């Protein structure tokens, strides 16, 4: 079963473009908070707030060694949202499959009608 509050948390995190860009950066490998703050021209505090939002909903995890906090993607963190999307797409795809079958059957019947008696 899908956890709706989980999906809610993920969507609230992703709706902010900076947080999506942070995820895009982290999907190519781990980075420190300073490394993440630099390209966005953001303060350390501002990027830390975004990272906390991403970590709270399980999209990233971070580890602090000494004074340096390193962040990385949480594998499977986007899975609940991917599953929700898959559930929304499948019934429609099934409807399209069924429509395709009906059209194919209709075409076969039309061909039979056109065949010389």
Comparing C-alpha atoms, which of 31, 29, 26 is closest to residue 13?
Answer: 26
Q: What minimum distance in Å lies between the beta carbon of 76 and a copy of itself?
A: 8
The answer to whether 49 contacts a copy of itself (rule: CB under 8 A) is: no
For position 116 contacting a copy of itself by CB under 8 A, the verdict is no
Alpha-carbon dihedral 86, 88, 89, 93, rounded to 10 degrees: 130
Q: Confirm if 61 and 55 have CB atoms less than 8 A apart.
A: yes
CB nearer to a copy of itself: give 83 or 107.
83
Residues 80-99 that bind a copy of itself (CB under 8 A): 81-82, 84-89, 91-93, 95-96
Structure tokens given for 14 = 């992703």
Kindly state whether residue 31 participates in binding a copy of itself, applying the rule CB under 8 A.
no
């Amino acid at each position: 079963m899908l956890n709706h509050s989980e999906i809610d948390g993920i969507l609230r995190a992703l709706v902010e473009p900076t947080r999506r860009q942070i995820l895009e950066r982290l999907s190519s490998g781990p980075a420190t908070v300073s490394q993440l703050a630099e390209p966005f021209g953001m303060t350390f505090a501002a990027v830390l707030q975004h990272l906390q939002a991403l970590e709270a909903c399980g999209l990233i995890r971070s580890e602090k060694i000494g004074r340096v906090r390193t962040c990385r993607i949480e594998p499977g963190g986007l899975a609940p949202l991917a599953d929700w999307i898959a559930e929304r797409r499948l019934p429609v795809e099934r409807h399209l499959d069924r429509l395709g079958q009906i059209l194919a059957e209709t075409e076969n019947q039309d061909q039979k009608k056109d065949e010389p008696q």
